[in-house]
């Protein structure tokens, strides 16, 4: 900001002013670069490169303070027959058009757990040909953490761990 305030008089002063303005600009850039480097070094020292471990295992106000999965619990499994979830207290929230294509959605109103069943299409390769489930991450921030794997860890939408085999 100071450079902007002194620029007009230095420019008006002719070549000696231009040199002074150039020196002022170089000094300002140098000080800014040093400040950025120091902040980066400080961040390297204080911030961990490890993936946060509490994204799914901590209480969260978005899901009523309930844990989505806690350490020590067995992996989340879903049934072969999606209707069995209705007996476990889940509500069906399927979209009619998706249901026609073999996709059904369920939500447990007590736990907040939300999952989607995909009916396998005979003759199709990979997961398209197999019955499978997807479990939604209630704390997602984007596609990269939109789903949960069988252990309740955030995974990307469409990723291999996001496909859960029925029990």
Mean pLDDT for back-to-back runs of 10 residues, the chain (167 residues): 67 78 78 74 49 39 41 74 95 94 96 95 94 95 94 94 94
Number of domains composing the chain: 2
Tokens 């806690």 found at: 70
- At 133 the three-state DSSP class reads strand
- 138 HSE (CA, 13 A, CB side): 23
How much is the pLDDT for 96?
92
**Predicted confidence (pLDDT) per residue in 41-85, tens digit:** 665 544 444 444 333 334 333 444 444 443 445 688 999 999 999
Are residues 71 and 7 part of one domain?
no
Helix (H) or strand (E) holding 118: strand 114-118
How much is the pLDDT for 42?
61
How much is the pLDDT for 2?
59
Side by side, which strands form the sheet with 147-148?
Answer: 91-92, 103-107, 114-118, 132-136, 147-148, 154-155
Are residues 85 and 157 part of one domain?
yes
Are residues 94 and 39 part of one domain?
no
Tokens 């027959």 found at: 81
Q: Which domain holds residue 38?
A: 2-46
How much is the pLDDT for 99?
93
């Amino acid at each position: 900001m100071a450079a902007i305030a002194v620029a007009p008089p230095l420019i008006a002063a002719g070549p000696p002013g231009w040199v002074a303005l150039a020196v002022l600009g170089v000094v300002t850039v140098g000080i800014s670069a040093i400040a950025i480097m120091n902040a980066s070094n400080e961040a390297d020292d204080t911030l961990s490169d490890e993936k946060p471990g509490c994204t799914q295992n901590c209480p969260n106000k978005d899901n009523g303070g309930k844990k989505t999965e806690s350490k020590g619990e067995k992996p989340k499994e879903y049934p072969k027959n999606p209707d069995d979830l209705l007996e476990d207290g889940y509500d069906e929230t399927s979209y009619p058009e998706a249901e026609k294509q073999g996709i059904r959605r369920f939500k447990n109103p007590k736990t907040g757990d939300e999952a989607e069943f995909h009916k396998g299409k005979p003759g199709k390769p990979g997961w398209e040909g197999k019955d499978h489930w997807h479990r939604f991450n209630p704390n997602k921030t984007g596609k990269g953490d939109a789903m949960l794997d069988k252990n309740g860890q955030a995974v990307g939408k469409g990723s291999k761990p996001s496909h859960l085999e029925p029990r």
